[in-house]
Amino acid sequence: MQELGKQQKMVIGMVGLPARGKTYISRKICRYLNWMGFKSKVFNIGNYRRQICGTDCNSNFFDPGNKDASKARDECALLALNDMINYLRNEGDVSLYDGTNTTKQRRKLIMETLQQKFSEVQVFWVESICNDEDVILRNIQLTKLNNPDYVGKSSDEATQDFQQRIEQYAKVYEPIDMDENISFIKIIDIGNDIMIYNIQGFLQSKLVSYLMNLHIYPRPIYLSRHGESQYNVVHKVGGDSDLTQTGLMYAKQLGKYFIQELEGSRNIKMFTSTMQRALHTSNEVCEFLGVEYYSLKALDEINPGICDGLTYQQIADKFPQDYEERKMNKLTYRYPRGESYLDVISRVEQIIFEIERSRLPVIVIAHQAILRCLYAYFHEHEVPEIPKLNIPLHQVIKLVPAAYYCKETRIKIDPMTGHWEIQDEATIKKVKSFLDL
Amino acid sequence: MQGCNRSQKIAICTVGLPARGKTYISRKLNRYFNWLGYKSRVFINGNYRREICGTECNSQFFDPHNETAQKARSDCAKMALQDLIQFLKNGGDVGILDGTNITRERRLQIESDLKQSFNGIQTLWIESICNDSKVIQNNIRLTKINNPDYCNVNSDEATIDFLNRIKMYEQIYETITDDENLSYIKTINVGADIIVHQVYGFLLSKIVSFIMNLHTYPRPIYLSRHGESQYNVDDRVGGDSDLSELGEMYADKLADFFFKEFPTKETKNEIIFFTSTMRRAIHTSDVVASKLDIQPLQLKTLDEINVGICDGMTYTEIAQKFPSDFQERKINKLGYRYPRGESYLDLISRIEPVIFEIERSRQPVMIIAHQAILRCLYAYFHQNEIPEVPTLDIPLHCVIKLTPAAYFCDEKRVLINPQTGEISIKEEYVQEFVRSKSKQKSFIDL
């Protein structure tokens, strides 16, 4: 379906006071768009400001009366805008302009500059408004205090300065007005209220649906493959084989794991496929937990078409050309009468919406290719990496998506002994330099 | 995604002045829910009023100061709500109350009645606001003039009376405000502006997306199967066979037909053209594409139903090799899933994104696909019941042109002889209102 949106380039402009989740939203949108096959990138104006003006800027720098600072900030905004346009001209499909853009004048400047330099571009604005002091304070603590602007300052000092910075912006804040004649969505108090105006086209429509399902509840997502199946043992692909004894034992151990992990809670959502090995694994888990699962065909393993029931060796012998082709381009290669990874990504989109939407913990018991796609989405891997991601049998992957990163924990469960081995991935690794955001 | 969150009941109530598209929105939502597998029904206040108070009601009946009329209308509204509540109690999933509901008092009463009747019911209010007088005039013309209320009145008189009726309502109109504490969606000027307040949950977020994409542009949808394929000739199911000679001839004649339908370059470039990833569809589409100089989008979601282990067999062979499956499918063609394959229900779920895209489009849509897929698409737009889907007649070498409009869907079938190119046309206009004036019952059945 993504081809429908490819006809036009798009710029998404963020609007809102600091600590309103603009960067969080831009990153989520960027993730979703890249996932769908639209090359997207976020241009964070704050980063430009840090690079050019340095990071020693206290709240006075943001005083609208401070003429020199205002001029510098305007220049940074235009630099970011230019880079954004170049990106679209070269390889990008969508640019996200992540900045406060809180005045009508600034927004007008951006619209006019875009019209001049790049008239075929569609522009869409996302305004985040939040009046809940607790949420704002939590945002500041979670995301601002580790910010390079406050290196070497105590957390109280930093919070105070940041709140003053917000007040500077609030002095001149003009929320988007309908007479500005722009397409926008306003998200108020994390989706309590939403206003949508003048949405145009396939992509904007999909984005609005996506945004309506976002929230900031840090709920965990558990991904596990079915227990070992008959076909796994003989290295055959496809089929609808059942669990082996080992696989069945894993299913039981998995149930025990969840009982402990969820502390007996039944408030979870569980999804599985329609294939025997997944259903039987899920049945065991549900016996332990006392919950029901949703069995969805959309979670069925990738369809290997004519290669169904063959081993990789047999495929290499019988269909040497296809075997080579798949090795070279595992992402787009479509098994004859079957599917490609791209087809699976498309198929799995509805599940992603379901998981995004859910404020309860989610458990997905499915298959290797499917979980590669789901894992890649939440853990923010590039799409081309998907076919090689490591999703072994008898392992639970626990993902806890947070503001700017996704915490991952892998729990290896020995089907015989029930022994757990926990591997905590360094979450710091994903945050890297703040400037990379 | 059928099966998610079935346990919660949902009540949807419309709000708005007359001729703002409330019934249109109710019917579309009702169609969409039933399609997704939810038991849904619309309860129209106006119909109750017509049954009980009769249809000889001019605008004076709607005067808010007319006390007897007010009481009668209020009683009718209560009856509609009671029927909705009963429906939900007796296995219904979604009840849609289609009425003006323009006062706070009325809304709060309804909300309170609903919340008292059910533990944990989700309610959603949809207010349709329109300030564009052209749109309103058009609505009146299209849907009200043929309404039983005006069967003895000429169209000019009817319009004037109806505009007066609207003025009566305007006197007491109170738009929904946040302090009423309702979950609501306001759609303004046919979706140009949408406001969403406290709407949560799977179905509700689907509704917002759906409403965002609704429009009343009467654009045509052309459905055609690929030309006759080798497997068609051998009576086999599944496979990825190519066109037979006859099928290729059909592709040519189909291209000629579309060439005439879209005479100018502008109209050609507007077409939204989808096909599947199977040879027989691609080859048919390629011939059409090359004649019209447009490009089809190949969607795997439009591939024919997957017949699993029965792939490549004839129905006789299936009956012999898998007799119990064969029987099962005969009894329950809708739910029966081919082992390692799909069921019609799976198909319906699979094609939902395509349906969404078609709903959204304001330009002509052309789809060249397969029998089972087209049965589903046809059923959705032509408003057939889901159980009918597996037996709908979608023959080879026939273009079905559907033009969905406010309350009905026009259908035109163009049978094209692949050898001679001869065309024979069957047209069906289903205008439920324009029946004989005595047959008012058909209107109530809306």
CA closest to B351 among chain A residues: A347
Reported confidence tier of residue A434, pLDDT bands at 50, 70, 90: very low
Answer yes or no: are the C-beta atoms of A381 and A430 closer than 8 Å. Answer: no
Average pLDDT over residues A325-352: 93
pLDDT tens column, A76-109: 888 999 999 999 999 899 999 999 999 999 999 9
Query: How close is the nearest chain B Cα to the Cα of A212, in Å?
Result: 7
* Active site residue ranges of B: 226, 304
Contact B212 A205 (CB under 8 A): yes
Reported confidence tier of residue A36, pLDDT bands at 50, 70, 90: confident
CA closest to A197 among chain B residues: B193
Q: Is residue A225 pLDDT above 90, yes or no?
A: yes
In angstroms, the first-to-last Cα distance of chain A is 29
**Length of chain A in residues, anyone?**
437
B357 vs A contacts (CB less than 8 Å): 1, 4, 202
pLDDT at residue B443, rounded to an integer: 36
The CA distance from A33 to A398, in Å, is 24
Contact B194 A196 (CB under 8 A): yes
Nearest to A196 among B212, B340, B350 (CB): B212
For chain A, say whether B131 makes contact (Cβ under 8 Å). Answer: no
* Active site residue ranges of A: 226, 301
- Which H or E element spans position A34? helix A22-36
The CA distance from A215 to A25, in Å, is 10
**Phi and psi angles of residue A128, each rounded to the nearest 5 degrees, phi first:** -110, 120
Q: What domains, with CATH codes, occur in chain A?
A: 10-212 (3.40.50.300), 221-434 (3.40.50.1240)
For chain A, say whether B425 makes contact (Cβ under 8 Å). Answer: no
Pick B4 or A399 by higher pLDDT: A399
Instruction: Give me the residue label for tokens 């055959």.
Output: A236
A213 vs B contacts (CB less than 8 Å): 205
A274 vs B contacts (CB less than 8 Å): 337
Of A32-36, B56-60, B405-409, the range with the highest mean pLDDT is: A32-36
**Roughly what angle, to the nearest 10 degrees, separates helices B371-382 and B352-360?**
50
Residue B225 annotated as part of some ligand binding site: yes
At residue B425's C-alpha, the angle toward residues B424 and B429, to 5°, is 165
Q: What domains, with CATH codes, occur in chain B?
A: 10-215 (3.40.50.300), 221-435 (3.40.50.1240)
Q: Nearest-CA neighbor of B351 among B340, B341, B359?
A: B359
For chain A, say whether B192 makes contact (Cβ under 8 Å). Answer: yes
For chain A, say whether B357 makes contact (Cβ under 8 Å). Answer: yes
pLDDT tens column, B109-129: 999 999 999 888 999 999 999
What number of other Cβ atoms are within 10 A of residue B436's Cβ? 8
Query: Measured between alpha carbons, how far is residue B317 from residues A123, A291, B229, B341 in Å?
Result: 58, 42, 19, 17
A308 vs B contacts (CB less than 8 Å): 340
pLDDT tens column, B368-425: 999 999 999 999 998 888 999 999 999 999 999 999 877 778 899 999 999 998 999 9
- The interface predicted TM-score (ipTM) is 0.84
Answer yes or no: are the C-beta atoms of A73 and A103 closer than 8 Å. Answer: no
Contact A240 B340 (CB under 8 A): yes
DSSP A227: S
Q: Sign of the C-alpha dihedral, residues A207, A209, A210, A216?
A: positive
pLDDT at residue B56, rounded to an integer: 67
- Which H or E element spans position A296? none
CA closest to B359 among chain A residues: A202
The CA distance from A187 to A197, in Å, is 12
Nearest to A343 among B195, B300, B357 (CB): B300
pLDDT at residue A426, rounded to an integer: 56
For chain A, say whether B315 makes contact (Cβ under 8 Å). Answer: no
DSSP A382: -
The CA distance from B191 to B193, in Å, is 5
Collect all residues with Cβ–Cβ distance below 8 Å to B233 and sequence separation of at least 6: B244
pLDDT tens column, B164-200: 889 989 999 999 999 999 999 999 988 889 999 998 8
The CA distance from B272 to B200, in Å, is 33
What number of other Cβ atoms are within 10 A of residue A222's Cβ? 22
For chain A, say whether B198 makes contact (Cβ under 8 Å). Answer: yes
The CA distance from B395 to B115, in Å, is 49
Q: Show the tokens assigned to A231.
A: 């076909």
Q: What is the pTM of this model?
A: 0.88
Q: Is residue B436 pLDDT above 70, yes or no?
A: no
Pick A101 or B2 by higher pLDDT: A101
Mutate to test the interface with A, among B196, B205, B311 (most CBs of A within 10 A): B196
Mutate to test the interface with A, among B6, B194, B206 (most CBs of A within 10 A): B194
Q: Show the tokens assigned to A318.
A: 């019988």
For chain A, say whether B362 makes contact (Cβ under 8 Å). Answer: no
Mutate to test the interface with A, among B1, B203, B301, B350 (most CBs of A within 10 A): B1
Average pLDDT over residues A323-341: 94
Query: How close is the nearest chain A Cα to the Cα of B430, in Å?
Result: 31
pLDDT tens column, B250-295: 999 999 999 999 988 888 888 999 999 999 999 999 999 999 999 9
